[in-house]
A and B are shown apart, each in its own frame.
Chain A
Amino acid sequence: MTSLNLEALFQSKIDEETKIEPKDWMPDAYRKTLIRQISQHAHSEIVGMLPEGNWITRAPSLRRKLILLAKVQDEAGHGLYLYSAAETLGANRDDLVQQLLSGKAKYSSIFNYPTLNWADIGAIGWLVDGAAIMNQVMLTRTSYGPYARAMVRICKEESFHQRQGYEIMIAMAKGSPEQKAMAQDAINRWWWPSLMMFGPKDAESSHSDQALKWKIKRKTNDELRQQFVDVTVPQAEYLGLTVPDPDLRWNEEKGSYDFGEIDWEEFWSVVKGNGPCNKQRLQARNKAYEDGAWVREAASAHAAKKEQRKLEPQLATKAA
């Protein structure tokens, strides 16, 4: 078959909602786009452990500590599900990890903001995981089979993440005036970066059309962002707290909220590496990787020795 026919056949499978599986023919650009997107997603899960990991040892109770520990462990799992999905496309795990460590690969900019106090852990679970869920629920229907299946598994785990965050927010919002003020301050700092998680505006999003045509994505950045605002604002109201947007108002006609303009300069500046924690995050990942080198080596040596021991009785019999 000519590549033109193959491409038409591929698109017709996508159009009729047949999933693409690892060994199926696919355009190079589809493969590349997916490897880039899935690995960036994996990196985000891995780097995403850092801001919350920062508070595990300082959680205010054993209950909160157990919960946060379980959540952060889930994020590690999400990273691993996604790396293995990327590997089904022919990517190599070590290469992907190296791209993260060298700073060549991108990850979600939200994790380049600092977690200053415990309220931030509430705000992250509620807002950051909440925004991630919007995107990930859409991706459970993405056209590439292994990615879609990883997303189903991830989404099942995510709703606990969001609920535990919102529970922290409720506790603080209903707590002392100081606690309530901390909760408000956390929303003030995390609201706009959370909206930025959906990426550039549709008009400026370079990969969007093709990703929609291939059904890698099924909604645009702006659609997802709007959906997030619409479900989240009432949740803030329930807390008796506000989102830091003077332009936010309900638009009766369209049945959703109008909201203010994102500071795109800040967005691009953090993407380009100039956020408050970009350097710190990469340093932490590199340190973890280097500090773990002896463990990886020891595990390989141990496995080789076990293998050797299994062979030795046979060698002994042969010699006799």
Chain B
Amino acid sequence: MKNEWPLWEIFIRSKSGLSHKHVGSLHATDAEMALENARDLYTRRNEGVSLWVVESKHITASDPNDSDPLFEPAKDKIYRHPTFYNVPDEVTHM
């Protein structure tokens, strides 16, 4: 339809010390209205101390079909995890 308002993705920081987390989306004419609507829609019960709004079209997502080639290389590098290494029982604080 002709005049549909753009879609915005909404991210909330639930309290200081935590990162923003995606909560959903909404339509708004511009960023300012997106913030106001996000306040009304997603924080009616003190869910947050900070909001980010990002117009959905600006988000580039990886393709789930590529997730194997994309994430596979990390899978066989078990030496990146501390459990790969044997530390003698006598050695502490490590």
Q: Which residues of A contact B (CB under 8 A)?
A: 21, 23-25, 70, 73-74, 77, 80-81, 84-85, 87-88, 92-95, 98, 146, 149-150, 153, 156-157, 296-297, 299-300, 302-303, 306-307
Contact = CB atoms under 8 A, between A and B. Distances in A.
Interface in B22-42: 23-27, 29-30, 32-33, 40-41
Given A77-B44, A94-B4, A303-B30, 16 more contacts: A24-B64, A73-B44, A74-B44, A81-B24, A81-B41, A84-B25, A88-B25, A92-B1, A153-B23, A156-B45, A299-B5, A299-B33, A300-B5, A303-B29, A306-B30, A306-B32
Contacts of B63: 23
29 contacts: A23-B64, A24-B64, A25-B64, A25-B65, A70-B44, A73-B44, A77-B40, A77-B41, A77-B44, A80-B41, A81-B24, A81-B41, A84-B24, A85-B24, A92-B4, A93-B7, A94-B1, A95-B1, A98-B1, A153-B23, A297-B3, A299-B5, A300-B3, A300-B29, A302-B29, A303-B29, A303-B30, A306-B30, A307-B30
Given A74-B44, A303-B29, A296 B24 contact: no
B7 A87 contact: yes
B94 interface: no
Chain B interface secondary structure, helix, strand, loop or mixed?
mixed
Contacts of A98: 1
A191 B31 CA distance: 45
A297 to B, nearest CB: 7
B62 to A, nearest CB: 9
B91 interface: no
B64 A21 contact: yes
